[in-house]
Amino acid sequence: MVSKRLASIEESATMRISSEAKRLNSEGFDIIDLGVGEPDFDTPRHICDAACRYMLEGKTRYTPTNGIPELRRAIAKKLREENRIPAVPEDVIVTPGAKMAVFAAIQALLDEGDEMVLIGPSWVSYEPCIKFAGGRPVWADVDQDFMPMDLPEAITERTKAILVNSPCNPTGAVFGHEVMKEIRDIAIDHDIYVVSDEVYEKIIYGHEHISIASLPDMADRTITINGFSKSYAMTGWRLGYLTGPRDMLKWISRLLSHSVSHPTTFVQWAGIAALEGPQDDVRRMTEEFRARRDILVDGLRSLGIRCALPGGAFYMFPDVSHLGGGDVFAERLLKEAKIAVTPGSAFGPGGEDYIRISYATSRERIKEALERMESMLNS
Alpha-carbon distance of 76 to 68, in angstroms, equals: 12
The CATH classification number of 4-43+280-378 equals 3.90.1150.10
Q: 197 has which bridge partners?
A: 165, 225
Q: Which of 223, 231, 229 is nearest to 253 (CA)?
A: 223
Alpha-carbon distance of 339 to 34, in angstroms, equals: 7
Residue 290 is classified by DSSP as: H
Q: 94 has which bridge partners?
A: 241
Residue 372 is classified by DSSP as: H
Give the length of the chain: 379
Kindly list the strands in the beta sheet with 342-343, ordered across the sheet, starting from the edge strand earlier in the chain: 315-316, 355-358, 342-343
Q: Are strands 92-95 and 240-243 parallel, antiparallel or unpaired?
A: antiparallel
User: Fold identical between 4-43+280-378 and 61-276?
Assistant: no
Q: For residue 331, give the amino acid letter.
A: E
By the 8 A CB rule, do 168 and 174 touch? yes
pLDDT by residue, tens only, the chain of 379 residues: 788 888 877 777 667 777 777 788 788 889 999 998 899 999 999 999 999 999 999 999 999 999 999 999 999 999 999 999 999 999 999 999 999 999 999 999 999 999 999 998 999 999 999 999 999 999 999 999 999 999 999 999 999 999 999 999 999 999 999 999 999 999 999 999 999 999 999 999 999 999 999 999 999 999 999 999 999 999 999 999 999 999 999 999 999 999 999 999 999 999 999 999 999 999 999 999 999 999 999 999 999 999 999 999 999 999 999 999 999 999 999 999 999 999 999 999 989 999 999 999 999 999 999 999 999 999 8
What are the two backbone dihedrals, phi and then psi, of residue 240, each rounded to the nearest 5 degrees? -140, -175
* Domain ranges, ordered by start, for the chain: 4-43+280-378, 61-276
Segment holding 118, helix H or strand E: strand 115-119
Q: Which of 295, 304, 348 is nearest to 326 (CA)?
A: 348
Q: 195 has which bridge partners?
A: 163, 223
| Burial of 144 from C-beta contacts in 10 A (0-12 / 13-18 / 19+) | exposed
Alpha-carbon distance of 351 to 327, in angstroms, equals: 10
Class of domain 61-276: alpha beta
By the 8 A CB rule, do 314 and 360 touch? yes
pTM of the predicted model, to two decimals? Answer: 0.94
3 state DSSP class of 108: helix
CA angle at 280 for the pair 86 and 271, rounded to the nearest 5°: 50
Distance of CA 245 to the CA centre of its chain: 22
By the 8 A CB rule, do 342 and 35 touch? yes
